[in-house]
Structure 1
Amino acid sequence: MTELPDNFSPWEHLQSTYMLEYNKRVDKFFSDVQGNGDLSNVRASLKLACRLVDGDNQATWALRTSLFLDVIGYSRKNLAIVYGSKFDTAPPVAGHPQLFLVFSQDAAATPNEESPIEHEKSVRLMRFSCTGGDDDGSTKPAITKTNMTEIANEVKALFLSSSRGITYTCGNKSASYTDPENGFARGNYLLVNSRTDATEIYEKICNAIDVPFKTEKLIVNDPDKPSTTTATAGKITILGKQVQNRRYRPVAALRFRSAYISLGNLVPPVFLIDTTMRNKGLVSYP
């Protein structure tokens, strides 16, 4: 065992090792950005803000690492709870790629006491398989990057307007579109405030994956219980402390944020487009 030198500083050693390993991961995540980043575009600016440099004080160090690990979300990278299939058991359409579309409430429209509302809608790409016929017994061809890029361009054209994600209004009505042969399995639904919003979103999804939209397959259920707001939901007392009660299917405008394709929970998702700039998509934004 080699003796440590007399002037060895555990703190300096830890700091330099952490900086080296951390910056490796930042560089890999922003591999599309040349150098250490600059102010030429959003991703270059993010890389510049995330990388640790000699001379950073403790506050700057904490902000840089929190931006990368927590805000951008690198520490949650590849966790199934974020990107994987939400199904507890494999549905009959397992083996086909799954397209996810993510919508969320604008921060400016979110009540101070609440987190932004987030909804995610998915559909199976039944024309393709994840691995190819020889591997899973499917007669469908394996999806390629070219196929995914074509879908990405369709999503960009359909779900972006004036360089921003389109919006729809969510509410207390559940809209289900059932068409298993074209990837819309039974049991999943979209919360909307009107049938018009449901028709628009499902029609756009069908157009993006090049399958026909059929009005008769859309069912909208209108429950007796109305939507509640932060104010009408009120507060409840838990362990002697008042906390905000959960809202019931609140009415809010949700904006399209991103789209990605899952090829199974052992493979990282492929982002088609991401308006938040947290992930590099196959097509550029805006």
Structure 2
Amino acid sequence: MTDLPDDFNPFEHLQQTYRTEFNRRVDKFFADVPGTGDLSGTRPSLKLACRMTDNDNDAMMNMRHNLFFNVIGYSRKNLAIVYGSKFDTAPPVAGHPQLFLTFSQDSAATPSEESPIEHEKSVRLMKFSCAGGDDDGSTKPAITKANMTEIANEIKTLFISGGRGIDYTCGNKSASYTDPENGFARGNYMLVNSRADAMEVYQKLCNAIDVPFNQEKLIVNDPDKPSTTTAAAGKITILGKQVQNRRYRPVAVLRFRSAYISLGNLVPPVILIDTTLRHTGLVKYP
């Protein structure tokens, strides 16, 4: 056992260690808020209130701990104590139509040794059911062709500009928008290169299905590992042949291509709009 210095104070050591570890978790939880927080908004203010400082007494440390772990609910996010099932408060999504939007890289911008990057984003249409209430017990009305055509026209207005699908830049940051009541379940995310791109796509998607957008429900995580290019990823040898190694969350411009609604079961998806012209949608493009 290492000898401790004569002036070692176990209480100060414990307090400093606790403060460091606690603030590390606060900083990770509020990774979208720069610095130690401020009074410019709800999340910056919460971060400021949660972080412990050298001048805190025991009462303030306990209040910050209680605010972060119990009031905000950090302890109920599978990171400490779990009370009940994490699915208890999320509404069931089975039986609700699912809207999908597809994005892909332009072929002219795709490296010769790579396939175009393709991403897909989905949301449940919680205002509707796939079938009538008599068939699935749902209290929501069954979605109709008129409903889907209305959504298709909204998507055409929001996601097509100048005769082309809008674009955004994907990258190594994962952006999640969590609003189960309005169809955005926990755990889904999209890869972006900036918070602004994520906000634009999610905001347009909320507008398309006529639900409110709340930027405070958007969380963007920035990993330590940077995006890699085709050259940086290099090649590996498989069965004596050199092949391109997989890139890590590469930076690329993705363009909106199509939107469709899945009704589950064995029913084919309903194409709302398709800028590739491979399928006939409910609304014409361009």
**What TM-score do the two structures reach when normalised by structure 2?**
0.68
In 2: Cα distance, 1:97 partner to 1:196 partner: 28
State the secondary structure of the residue aligned to 1:243. Answer: strand
In the alignment, which residue of structure 2 is the partner of 1:199?
A: 199
In 1: Cα distance, 2:163 partner to 2:242 partner: 42
In the alignment, which residue of structure 2 is the partner of 1:88?
A: none
Q: Which amino acid aligns with 1:272?
A: L
Q: Which amino acid aligns with 1:161?
A: S
Q: Which amino acid aligns with 1:261?
A: I
In 2: Cα distance, 1:95 partner to 1:191 partner: 27
In the alignment, which residue of structure 2 is the partner of 1:96?
A: 96
Shift of 1:238: 1.6
Q: Which amino acid aligns with 2:240?
A: G
In the alignment, which residue of structure 2 is the partner of 1:118?
A: 118
In the alignment, which residue of structure 1 is the partner of 2:137?
A: 137
Q: Which amino acid aligns with 1:279?
A: H
In 2: Cα distance, 1:243 partner to 1:216 partner: 43
Give per-residue Cα distances to partners, 1:255-278, cap 9 Å, x unaligned: 000000000041000000000001
Give per-residue Cα distances to partners, 1:19-68, cap 9 Å, x unaligned: xxxxxxxxxxxxxxxxxxxxxxxxxxxxxxxxxxxxxxxxxxxxxxxxxx
In 2: Cα distance, 1:132 partner to 1:250 partner: 43
1:280 corresponds to 2:274: no
Q: Which amino acid aligns with 1:178?
A: T
State the secondary structure of the residue aligned to 2:259. Answer: strand
Give per-residue Cα distances to partners, 1:69-98, cap 9 Å, x unaligned: xxxxxxxxxxxxxxxxxxxxxx93010000
Shift of 1:239: 2.1
Q: Which amino acid aligns with 2:250?
A: P
In 1: Cα distance, 2:209 partner to 2:157 partner: 12
Root-mean-square deviation over aligned CA pairs: 0.9
In the alignment, which residue of structure 1 is the partner of 2:69?
A: none
Question: Structure 1: where are the runs of 5+ without partners?
Answer: 1-90
In 1: Cα distance, 2:189 partner to 2:154 partner: 22
In the alignment, which residue of structure 2 is the partner of 1:260?
A: 260
Shift of 1:240: 2.1
In the alignment, which residue of structure 1 is the partner of 2:163?
A: 163
In 2: Cα distance, 1:192 partner to 1:92 partner: 28
In 2: Cα distance, 1:94 partner to 1:213 partner: 23
In the alignment, which residue of structure 2 is the partner of 1:128?
A: 128
Shift of 1:241: 1.8
Shift of 1:130: 0.1
Aligned residues: 196
Give the % identical residues: 86
Q: Which amino acid aligns with 2:149?
A: T
In the alignment, which residue of structure 1 is the partner of 2:9?
A: none
In 2: Cα distance, 1:211 partner to 1:198 partner: 17
State the secondary structure of the residue aligned to 1:198. Answer: helix
Which protein shows a greater Rg? Answer: 2
In 1: Cα distance, 2:162 partner to 2:277 partner: 17
Question: Runs in 1 of length 4+ with deviation above 3 angstroms?
Answer: none
In the alignment, which residue of structure 1 is the partner of 2:186?
A: 186
State the secondary structure of the residue aligned to 2:108. Answer: helix
Give per-residue Cα distances to partners, 1:115-174, cap 9 Å, x unaligned: 000000000000000001111111000000000000000000000000100000000000
In the alignment, which residue of structure 1 is the partner of 2:175?
A: 175
Q: Which amino acid aligns with 1:237?
A: T
In the alignment, which residue of structure 1 is the partner of 2:241?
A: 241
Give per-residue Cα distances to partners, 1:208-265, cap 9 Å, x unaligned: 0000000110000000000001000001112222111000000000000000000004
